[in-house]
Structure 1
Amino acid sequence: MALVVGDGVLGAASILALPIAAQRHVVAAAVNFAKLAEADLAGCPIARVNVDAGDEGLELFRADVGNAMEYNALWSEANVRRISEWLRRNAMPSGEGVTKKPVRLLITSLLQSASAAIQKDEVRDLPEELTPKVSPDSVAQLDLALAKWAQDAHEELQQQLDVAFGSRSWRKLSWWKLFWRADDVAMVTSEMIGLYFLPGAEKRIIYLSGRIDEAGVVEGQRQTTVGLGSATKWPTHIPFARHYLQERTVPALQALAQKLVVQSASIASLSSALAGLSYLSAVGAYESGAIAAVGIIFGARRFQQKWDAAREYWEGELREEGRKAIRASEASISAVLEQAGKSQGPSEDRIARLEELRKAKETIRRAEDALVRME
């Protein structure tokens, strides 16, 4: 039970804005009006009280018992008796075996809340019931299509990269041509990645993902697989790997080419300067030329070794990133198909949850029957 108390007209307006009329057995309202008769509030769900009159009556009675008449008049004017009767009527039992209405309302509210929670849980499971099940034959066919895609993707990766690394564009980046083509490294390598890095496999995986979505495999599943069912409906490992290669490896290769050109030119310049100084120091022309030749050959040989090693490493990195992207795409779709194969029937967790809901509904029904008998 609750008693809402206000003061004056503003307090009455605030209380009247609350839905207390339908809950009179549980919630009561009282407003302090010093100069207002009881008849003025006829039909209003608010009880009028006069706190000042009640305080004055109590002070007179405490000062002298002989002021009982004045106390009785002021206490009646305070209208506290109405609040006391409401509290006593709703708090004290009216008979043996009879439950008070506020208690019954509280129990009824709890039972209604529990029933609403159960219905909400059942409605949440309803889409799973309405979702069409995928036939095992469809899952098997999609598994075969996935295996075929993976095989074709690996073959495409090997063949396309062999073509790319044997192309004229890649040969333009030989070490001895790099002196005037160092600035073209980024353009040539980015073009190779865009043209030869699994373009057909990416299109086929999108088509396969469309078949999976059309078969209803993805629908109803909680997507925890990377690249499928999140921002797109197909695995994005291949474009992600392509973006990684273009943004991380290509700038590094470009910077290395420019660095090697500068270092080779610096070594050649230093050796030539040393040869010139040696010639001016009365060293023979042949000896000075030998010094310059040794420096130039050393710089060129160092340039060739480092650049060829970098090219070989970059070729291997492209092949490895391609294999990783293919394996990741295959694993993501395989996980979805495997989950679809397992979800042909209701899971054990769902069966247990439905059994718990059934028991809870039965308990609520028995409680409602008992509450009716208590009335």
Structure 2
Amino acid sequence: MPPRLPLTTASLLNGLSERYVCASCARKATRSLTSPRTEPARQSKHTSTAPLIRLRDGKPRRQAYAKQDIQGLPRLARRHASNATLASATAINAPSSVPPAYRELHQKLIALQETAGSYVDLARLQLAARSLEGDDPVSGPSAARKLARVLLSDALSDEERWEQEILESIHDGRDLLLRYGDTDETVQSNPLVKTLNVPSPYLRRHKLEILVTGLSFSSGPSTSNERRALEDAVLVPSLTTPNSQGGRVGFVRYPVHKTILVAEGISSAVQYGSLPPGLADGGNITAALSVPLRSTSGADSAEEEASANSVDIDLAVHALELFRTSKANGAKFSKEWQTSRVGTLAEWMAGSAESTASGLRPAVRGLVASVLSDTSKSISQAEEAGNTTVIAGTVSDTKRQSLESAIASWSGSSHRDLQLNLDTAFATSPSWRRTTWWRLFWRIDDVTVSASDVLRRSWLTESEQALAFLSGRILETGLATPEQLRDAAPQLIKGSEPAEANKAENPAQRRESVAELLQIPSMLARVQQESGVNAQFSPPWPQSINLSRQYMIRTLVPELHRKAQALLLTSLSTIGGSAALGGWFYLATGGGGLYESGAIVALGLVWSLRRLQKKWSSERESFAVTIREDARGVLGEVESHLRKLVGEGGRATVRAEDAQSWQVARQALKECEGALSKIETKR
């Protein structure tokens, strides 16, 4: 793709090393620098200070020049008597380039754009607002078109129709694409860009196409990302196209190989000064600042004081017209052409089309290298952003160590709670004392209530409360989610399936259970009644202690009650049998064996009571040992689960898909760089 000529800003005072001045002062200062041999008509052209290049950033100009009384000052001091100031481009402060008669209307149009942007045709509204800025509302893009005309014109031939079409295309409203071709050829209409066939030897010889378009950017301090975005906007301009009847516009990106930033006028110089330094360094982007460069006598000529990017487009146009008027003006034409520095831009553009020894044009090579460089930067930025996100989402080691200490403290206090509270409950609890062996005869039904009361009141109650607080700290640091904390429920007792599960289910009963599933409240009540667990209670901390307690109440306590009943029944049976045997012996001896009968009854009674005492005490001790061991197991599982969450949780990792995409992109980029290096090494 050939280079383009975008419409941008210029730094007029960068070339003349002067401060910003108002329009009237600039005219006077320019007249003082103009050669005495210059005709008045040419002099008026060089003194134009209208903002010929506009940066269409959707905002009005922010320039207001304070005028001062400078009539009594010397000529040199008069050039610096008026300083430029910047004013906010709001509905109150309109740009100074708007004539006073149109300023109120301009402010209202800008306010309409901000408040009713979805109801108006934004493209036409912005065009109307720009048309109010200055006496000549369409003079902005003319500098770029004049430069394109001068570059493509043949000085040896007369002026052709296409030269005027280039200048008149500014009224079309579209961007302009210049390519080699016969003017009689039919060009397909395009809403994005106006294509113009130009039979220019320059385009044919160097195989170029030139795109003349605008550039939008916001002034102010620029960061590296903003600089890169601006560079992309310069090398890949966006062409606007309407896409609906409501006035909305769309954008089509049009990449180019090289770009010339063309600017003319003080307002363009102000906007050019806000560009990032080094943007127009002459690589793929350069600048053309249209300022008067007509040579004068002396060491302080305007040509010598001007910057390297300064050109004099009007002087080049004058030289072209002068040579076409008479071929005898060749020497003057050559002098003015060299003074205008337009030939330097022509050489810079043509250099991009010359093939190297490897057959690859510098513009193409630069484009490929720029694309590969930008791709490498994008991959690096993506990797850096991913790693930054991982680091930001990872909990620090300091917080982990603090939580590790808190878990260790909780574990120690939980074991002390288990030892002290259970010992106290088994030793002094009134509920547990009701289960002594000699009270079984009249309190056999209190075994379940007493054992359940011990579990509910003394089995890791304080530890469960402390666990809720510790879980809150873990959730606060982001090391785990409530679902992960709830997954700490231990494997209670293997093979502890209820006996009912082994029984064959009645089909009618199963159908009834399925029907009951549709009644959610009744089903939840039934689950709580059968298991003791509230299915609706789901706190954000491990439920291991609560579930283990409910499990023991539903399994160990009924088993203890069953054994108590069996031992009591055995004792009563033994006592009854010994009493019957003693009575039979008494009757068999005819009343003579009274003492022997009493001895038999007493022996059976003592033996059964002793057996009941021994067996029941063993069962109670076994129950106490079981719940202690279960408590230790639950505490161990909860502690290990919490330590695992603290050690492994809260560590963000790069997604495997992202890492793989970066690796694939790096490999493809490396292959492209290798292919480019092979082409460059060919001779």
TM-score range, shorter chain: 0.5 to 0.7
**Superposition pairs of residues 1-375 of structure 1, within 5 angstroms:** 129=390, 132-166=393-427, 167-218=429-480, 226-227=488-489, 232-282=539-589, 284-340=593-649, 343=651, 346=653, 350=654, 354-361=658-665
**How big is the shift at 1:280?**
0.6
Counterpart position of 2:37: none
Provide the TM-score with structure 1 as the length reference: 0.57
Separation in structure 2 between the aligned mates of residue 140 and residue 337 of structure 1, nearest angstrom: 9
Separation in structure 1 between the aligned mates of residue 471 and residue 482 of structure 2, nearest angstrom: 16
**How big is the shift at 1:193?**
0.6
Counterpart position of 1:65: none
Q: Secondary structure at the match of 2:581?
A: helix
CA gap of 1:220–1:130, structure 2 versus 1, over 3 A, is farther
| CA displacement, residues 293-341 of structure 1 (integer Å, 9 cap, x when unaligned) | 1111111111111100000000111111111111111011000011038
Separation in structure 2 between the aligned mates of residue 138 and residue 210 of structure 1, nearest angstrom: 14
Q: Secondary structure at the match of 1:134?
A: coil
Amino acid in structure 2 at the alignment position of 1:170: W
CA gap of 1:238–1:174, structure 2 versus 1, over 3 A, is same
Higher relative contact order (CA 8 A, sep 6+): 1
Separation in structure 1 between the aligned mates of residue 470 and residue 444 of structure 2, nearest angstrom: 41
Amino acid in structure 1 at the alignment position of 2:395: V
Separation in structure 1 between the aligned mates of residue 639 and residue 555 of structure 2, nearest angstrom: 24
Q: Secondary structure at the match of 1:218?
A: coil
Separation in structure 2 between the aligned mates of residue 223 and residue 360 of structure 1, nearest angstrom: 38
Q: Secondary structure at the match of 1:144?
A: helix
Please say if residues 488 and 542 of structure 2, whose CA atoms lie closer than 8 Å, have aligned partners that are also in contact: yes
Separation in structure 1 between the aligned mates of residue 388 and residue 568 of structure 2, nearest angstrom: 65
Q: Secondary structure at the match of 1:287?
A: helix
**How big is the shift at 1:200?**
0.9
Please say if residues 202 and 238 of structure 1, whose CA atoms lie closer than 8 Å, have aligned partners that are also in contact: yes
Amino acid in structure 2 at the alignment position of 1:271: S
CA gap of 1:221–1:361, structure 2 versus 1, over 3 A, is farther
Separation in structure 2 between the aligned mates of residue 308 and residue 127 of structure 1, nearest angstrom: 65
Separation in structure 2 between the aligned mates of residue 127 and residue 274 of structure 1, nearest angstrom: 90
CA gap of 1:171–1:352, structure 2 versus 1, over 3 A, is closer
Q: Secondary structure at the match of 2:596?
A: helix
CA gap of 1:198–1:277, structure 2 versus 1, over 3 A, is same
Unmatched 5+ residue regions in structure 1? 1-121, 368-375
Separation in structure 2 between the aligned mates of residue 133 and residue 244 of structure 1, nearest angstrom: 38
Q: Which has the larger radius of gyration?
A: 2
Please say if residues 471 and 541 of structure 2, whose CA atoms lie closer than 8 Å, have aligned partners that are also in contact: yes
Q: Secondary structure at the match of 1:133?
A: coil
Please say if residues 564 and 616 of structure 2, whose CA atoms lie closer than 8 Å, have aligned partners that are also in contact: yes
**How big is the shift at 1:226?**
3.0
Separation in structure 2 between the aligned mates of residue 292 and residue 128 of structure 1, nearest angstrom: 85
Amino acid in structure 1 at the alignment position of 2:649: A
| CA displacement, residues 38-74 of structure 1 (integer Å, 9 cap, x when unaligned) | xxxxxxxxxxxxxxxxxxxxxxxxxxxxxxxxxxxxx
Amino acid in structure 1 at the alignment position of 2:448: A
| CA displacement, residues 187-216 of structure 1 (integer Å, 9 cap, x when unaligned) | 111111100011111011111010111011
**How big is the shift at 1:244?**
1.6
Separation in structure 2 between the aligned mates of residue 159 and residue 170 of structure 1, nearest angstrom: 15
**How big is the shift at 1:225?**
5.4
Q: Please state which structure has a larger fraction of its residues in helix.
A: 1
CA gap of 1:288–1:169, structure 2 versus 1, over 3 A, is same
**How big is the shift at 1:133?**
2.1
CA gap of 1:355–1:325, structure 2 versus 1, over 3 A, is closer
Task: Give RMSD over aligned pairs.
Answer: 3.3
Amino acid in structure 2 at the alignment position of 1:316: V
Please say if residues 128 and 220 of structure 1, whose CA atoms lie closer than 8 Å, have aligned partners that are also in contact: no
Separation in structure 2 between the aligned mates of residue 189 and residue 241 of structure 1, nearest angstrom: 15
Q: Secondary structure at the match of 2:445?
A: helix
Counterpart position of 2:254: none
Unmatched 5+ residue regions in structure 2? 1-382, 491-537, 672-683
Separation in structure 2 between the aligned mates of residue 305 and residue 186 of structure 1, nearest angstrom: 20
| CA displacement, residues 94-122 of structure 1 (integer Å, 9 cap, x when unaligned) | xxxxxxxxxxxxxxxxxxxxxxxxxxxx9
Separation in structure 2 between the aligned mates of residue 221 and residue 243 of structure 1, nearest angstrom: 21
Provide the TM-score with structure 2 as the length reference: 0.32
CA gap of 1:219–1:365, structure 2 versus 1, over 3 A, is farther
CA gap of 1:173–1:336, structure 2 versus 1, over 3 A, is same
| CA displacement, residues 162-203 of structure 1 (integer Å, 9 cap, x when unaligned) | 111012221221111110010000011111110001111101
Please say if residues 131 and 219 of structure 1, whose CA atoms lie closer than 8 Å, have aligned partners that are also in contact: no
Q: Secondary structure at the match of 1:162?
A: helix
Separation in structure 1 between the aligned mates of residue 621 and residue 484 of structure 2, nearest angstrom: 43
